[in-house]
Structure 1
Amino acid sequence: MSEIVFGIHAVEVLLKRNSEAIQTIYVQHNRRDQRLHKLIKLAQSKNITVSQKSREELDELTAQRHQGVIAQCGNLNKTSYHEKHIPELLDSLQGQPFILILDGITDPHNLGACLRSADAAGVDMVIAPKDNAATITDVVRKVACGAAEAIPFISVTNLSRTMKLLQEKGIWIYGAAGEAKADIYQSDLTGPIAIVMGAEGDGMRRLTKETCDHLIKIPMAGEVSSLNVSVATGVTLFEVVRQRN
């Protein structure tokens, strides 16, 4: 099935990481700038057709803010895995596993931002439930800026069962919860680890929370009681990175 990726940075990263998935790149015919010129040269070096279209024609391909660049793609599921592949992925890792679990993130912008932070922090895979959660879409890819094509994203039928599988593999699971007594700076986040971030507003579901080995929180100094889930994800993941380094 044909899909699109839009936005200069997202298309540029796709060209570098998964160019074989791109069929054609459409660019706005009256746009002339250095970033676009660089992208066109990169596409041509990979023998990918670049066609010019009017702004109106590009708008017909997506209602999103495309920045005058859209890539028409074939198979973008290079990093999509079935849940049965989780043990195989874990066995293939060189170092200690670093996993992000998203429990019911429904906003595609938040999912994209979480994937971007996960890729930057060196997370090995992202796991999310199949039901009542956002999945990989063109909007998610745009926000993720290439991370959606770079990091394994696995939708699972039963999240608590998958978490127990990770625990059997020796992975400690830390769930982010506002009521936790220990904060992320007091907790030992080294070693094989999975971080669980809950849904916007509601947090983790009860069974997900009960399956965690530990609950942790981000200490808040101001009047605001919580952070946006994508911001909280970035803060927590990079505390893991800091402790590991």
Structure 2
Amino acid sequence: MARRGHRPSQTPAGRPRFWGRHAVTAALANPERVVRKIWATREALGALSIPSTIPVVFADVADLARLVPSDAPHQGLVAEVDPLEDIWLGDLLQQGADDKRPLVILDGVTDPHNVGAILRSAAAFDALGIITPDRNAPPESGTIARAASGALELVPWIRVVNLARALEEIAEAGFWRVGLDGEATQSFAQAIGQQRVAIVLGAEGEGMRQNTAAHCDELARLPISPQIESLNVSNAAAIALYAAAVRG
């Protein structure tokens, strides 16, 4: 009998399985990532350079499909990896005051597809990192790695025990904390100014928790049409990161 909680995308040892060309090649290219094993078709392996220390198992498409969630687009590649080592918030915040890269804080965003898409946008717009609560965010997984399209290996992801306390530490480091809220009166572009900015996003539907909003310096909205109530959180993150990147 499988261990309780064991899913095809995770081994009994708690190691995630990544699938797809972007996720697997990015994991191989990351010196901080330990890749334990690779399953692949001969055709997919032909395009890879794999260190001799990593065990490789040749497999057909049907075998690979049994290693990952149903309908996962594995592209002939599956890898078993160790989760990345934890990163301390204080270490990330030691960047100098002239480093204007934004931070992204996620409060209660639990959908791994959304987290992966946000990581991808964070990499595209050169964010300093993303921060999530330790207990109310998804773990590393093949779904996140696939949605992030390699960005899981590029963007520092910090998990914190207490998000409110982390927001206080972020403010002490010189960041202006702007929470996205559809009911806010001012626009995001008006709120961010020229200072170092931390973009705070809440879960879809529920939004930010009250205590999280109270630890923001300002609340702001994106200028979307009144015909649409709200945006998907990953779309909102991408727009906010773009706005932070192009400010004059």
TM-score class, shorter-chain normalisation, is: 0.7 to 0.9
The code of the aligned residue for 2:195 comes to G
Taking the aligned partners of 1:157 and 1:58, their CA distance within structure 2 comes to 36
Taking the aligned partners of 2:32 and 2:54, their CA distance within structure 1 comes to 8
C-alpha deviations, 1:28-56, integer Å up to 9, x for none?
35xx4xxx36632x336x76554320222
Taking the aligned partners of 1:19 and 1:26, their CA distance within structure 2 comes to 21
Q: Give secondary structure in 1 for the equivalent of 2:140.
A: coil
Q: Is the 8 A contact 1:97 1:171 kept in 2?
A: no
What residue number does 1:234 align with?
Answer: 238
Taking the aligned partners of 2:176 and 2:145, their CA distance within structure 1 comes to 29
Q: How many residues align?
A: 232
The code of the aligned residue for 1:58 comes to L
What residue number does 2:144 align with?
Answer: 140
2:109 to 83, 105, 111: 105
Q: Which runs of 5+ in 1 are unaligned?
A: none
Taking the aligned partners of 1:38 and 1:201, their CA distance within structure 2 comes to 45
Q: Percent identity?
A: 33
Q: Give secondary structure in 1 for the equivalent of 2:174.
A: coil
Taking the aligned partners of 1:116 and 1:67, their CA distance within structure 2 comes to 19
CA RMSD of aligned residues (A): 2.2
Q: Give secondary structure in 1 for the equivalent of 2:114.
A: helix
> Which has more helix, going by share of residues?
1
Q: Give secondary structure in 2 for the equivalent of 1:71.
A: strand
State the TM-score, normalized to the length of structure 1: 0.85
- Are residues 156 and 190 of structure 1, via their aligned partners in 2, closer, same or farther at CA, if it must alter by over 3 Å? same
Q: Give secondary structure in 2 for the equivalent of 1:5.
A: strand
Pairs within 5 Å for 1:3-152: 3-18=16-31, 21-29=34-42, 32=43, 36=44, 39-40=47-48, 42-43=49-50, 48-63=54-69, 64-73=72-81, 75-78=82-85, 80-81=86-87, 85-92=88-95, 95-96=99-100, 98-152=102-156
Q: Give secondary structure in 2 for the equivalent of 1:178.
A: coil
The code of the aligned residue for 1:5 comes to F
The code of the aligned residue for 2:89 comes to I
Cα distance, 1:176 vs structure 2: 0.3
Taking the aligned partners of 1:103 and 1:217, their CA distance within structure 2 comes to 16
Taking the aligned partners of 1:131 and 1:48, their CA distance within structure 2 comes to 32
Q: Give secondary structure in 2 for the equivalent of 1:204.
A: coil
Confirm or deny that 1:195 pairs with 2:203. no
Q: Give secondary structure in 2 for the equivalent of 1:187.
A: helix
